[in-house]
């Protein structure tokens, strides 16, 4: 098989890239390790930044999102025994977020691919990337034991943190920056009405988060030690612990019910630089991971893909390679901004096992400062909303 761009991974990054390239007249094939049913069953992100929504709207991918998504203006922060406050993104930036599940977005992207006959190959085993330093790179894999090969001009590595693409970068080219946090998030999805706002809580028992997917579907998380096992957390224990971490009135307003999904995610910050080598580009979780505290992972996948699709379209349409050459640097500016604010919010809102009394007091005073200063709130609102996308340089 031959194509212009081989896309490895059919997560949100890979499937969005396939659709943006198609709209620019660039041919591509997507190669995915898992089955379509598996990809569509993953429950992950739920908060779309204003810039993400804009990209989806501009490319005709927001019809269901505009119908079913729940627009909101910012987020609340509460902490034990004190009055909380609201980071009002709409007031400071005139922009709104949309609560819309990654699961739904993934369905919308598959529907777009189906409408236009985009080739997505599932259940590809032992995916390998070859010749990324040559003008004719290849992706090779096995399907049902048979060896398969795709020749292309470029490869987009959209295969997530554990994928094959980043590992195909030469060791002496790649620099990796990493921070692993000493706790995880235990999350549940429940068919119950959510609280009206997204509420982050800092409590001596640990961090908690109240979020939403729809008016009848809520998503909650509590900070747990890394060695926690799901079996230790029947629904009753989860609800009790969640409520214990919120102020009284909020705890009373939380509607409990059965969980329809329950999982534990460890927290990590990770950035691989550069995001391009030779004919290989990295996009999304393949290049970087953020702890979920900033709700940034999916949004970064979308901004990487926006820059990458624009660069490849300029190359195929006008023979311009300047945007391809600038891709890594351009994408990394936005990546580091979101990595930084996710790390900041993680430090601000969690109880670390090795926290000293000094650390604790400094954290409390940081929260008090944020609550009292409209300037600090405006700065956080700007970063929580995500930096605006950069215009393409003229030429």
Binding footprint of ligand RFL on the chain (CB under 6 A) = 8-14, 31-34, 39, 44-47, 102, 124, 127, 158-160, 162-164, 187, 265, 284-285, 292, 295-299, 301
Of 71-110, which residues contact ligand PHB (CB under 6 A)? Answer: none
Q: Measured from the CB of residue 43, what is the shortest distance to ligand RFL in angstroms?
A: 8
Is 296 among the catalytic positions?
A: yes
Indicate which of ligand PHB, ligand RFL, none lies near residue 13 (CB less than 5 to 8 Å, by partner kind).
ligand RFL
Q: Pick the catalytic residue: 296, 307, 327, 350?
A: 296
Q: Measured from the CB of residue 393, what is the shortest distance to ligand RFL in angstroms?
A: 26
Q: Pick the catalytic residue: 59, 70, 72, 179?
A: 72
| DSSP per-residue letters across 7-29 | EE--SHHHHHHHHHHHHTT--EE
Strands (E), the chain: 5-8, 28-31, 47-48, 70-72, 74-79, 85-88, 97-99, 119-121, 125-130, 138-143, 146-151, 154-157, 175-190, 198-202, 208-214, 217-224, 261-273, 276-277, 280-282, 288-289
Single out the residue of 30, 61, 295, 302 in contact with ligand PHB (rule: CB under 6 A).
295
Nearer to ligand PHB, 316 or 352 (CB): 352
Is 170 among the catalytic positions?
A: no
Q: How many residues bind ligand PHB (CB under 6 A)?
A: 10
Q: How far apart are CA 239 and CA 220, in angstroms?
A: 9
Q: Using the rule CB under 6 A, is 46 a contact of ligand PHB?
A: yes
Is 246 among the catalytic positions?
A: no
Indicate which of ligand PHB, ligand RFL, none lies near residue 293 (CB less than 5 to 8 Å, by partner kind).
ligand PHB
Of 209-238, which residues contact ligand PHB (CB under 6 A)? Answer: 209, 211, 219
Indicate which of ligand PHB, ligand RFL, none lies near residue 219 (CB less than 5 to 8 Å, by partner kind).
ligand PHB
Q: Using the rule CB under 6 A, is 297 a contact of ligand PHB?
A: no
Q: Angle at which helices 50-58 and 297-318 pack, to 10 degrees?
A: 40
- Report the b/e string of 265-294 with b at 16+ CB within 10 A: eebebbbbbbbbbbbbbbbbbbbbbbbbbb
Nearer to ligand PHB, 209 or 308 (CB): 209
Is 200 among the catalytic positions?
A: yes
Q: How far apart are CA 66 and CA 57, in angstroms?
A: 9
Strands 198-202 and 208-214: antiparallel
| DSSP per-residue letters across 221-284 | EEEE-TT--GGG--HHHHHHHHHHTS-HHHHHHPPP---SEEEEEEEEEEEEE-SEETTEEE-G
Q: Using the rule CB under 6 A, is 293 a contact of ligand PHB?
A: yes
Q: Which residues are known to be catalytic?
A: 72, 200, 292, 296, 384
Interface residues with ligand PHB (CB under 6 A) are 45-47, 198, 209, 211, 219, 292-293, 295
């Amino acid at each position: 098989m031959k194509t212009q761009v081989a896309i490895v991974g059919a997560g949100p990054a890979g499937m969005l890239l396939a659709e943006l390239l198609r709209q620019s007249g660039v041919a591509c094939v997507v190669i995915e390790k898992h089955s379509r049913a598996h990809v569509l069953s993953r429950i992950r992100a739920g908060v779309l930044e204003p810039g993400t929504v804009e990209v989806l709207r501009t490319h005709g991918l927001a019809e269901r999102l505009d119908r079913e998504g729940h627009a909101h203006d910012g987020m609340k922060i509460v902490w034990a025994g004190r009055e909380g406050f609201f980071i009002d993104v709409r007031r400071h930036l005139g922009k709104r977020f949309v609560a819309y599940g990654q699961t739904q977005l993934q369905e919308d992207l598959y529907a777009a691919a189906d409408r236009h006959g985009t080739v997505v190959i599932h259940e590809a085993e032992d995916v390998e990337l070859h010749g990324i330093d040559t003008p004719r790179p290849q992706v090779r894999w096995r399907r049902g034991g048979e060896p398969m090969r795709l020749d292309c001009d470029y490869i987009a590595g959209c295969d997530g943190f554990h994928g094959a693409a980043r590992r195909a970068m030469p060791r002496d080219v790649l620099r990796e920056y990493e921070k692993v946090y000493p706790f995880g998030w235990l999350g549940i999805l429940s068919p119950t009405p959510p609280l009206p706002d997204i509420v982050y809580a800092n409590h001596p028992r640990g961090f908690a988060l109240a979020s939403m997917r729809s008016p009848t579907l809520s998503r909650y998380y509590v900070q747990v030690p890394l060695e926690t096992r799901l079996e230790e957390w029947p629904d009753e224990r989860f609800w009790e612990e969640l409520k214990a971490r919120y102020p009284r009135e909020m705890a009373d307003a939380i509607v409990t019910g059965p969980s329809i999904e329950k999982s534990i995610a460890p927290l990590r910050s990770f950035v691989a630089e550069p995001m391009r080598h030779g004919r290989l580009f990295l996009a999304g979780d393949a290049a970087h991971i953020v702890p979920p505290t900033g709700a940034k992972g999916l949004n970064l996948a979308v901004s990487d893909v926006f820059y990458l699709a624009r660069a490849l379209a300029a190359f195929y349409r006008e023979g311009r390679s300047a945007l391809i050459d600038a891709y890594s640097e351009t994408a990394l500016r936005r990546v580091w901004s979101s990595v930084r604010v996710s790390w900041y919010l993680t430090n601000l809102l969690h109880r670390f096992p090795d926290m000293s009394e000094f650390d604790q007091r400094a954290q409390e005073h940081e929260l008090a400062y944020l609550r009292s200063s409209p300037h600090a709130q405006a700065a956080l609102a700007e970063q929580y909303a995500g930096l605006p996308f950069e215009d393409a340089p003229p030429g």
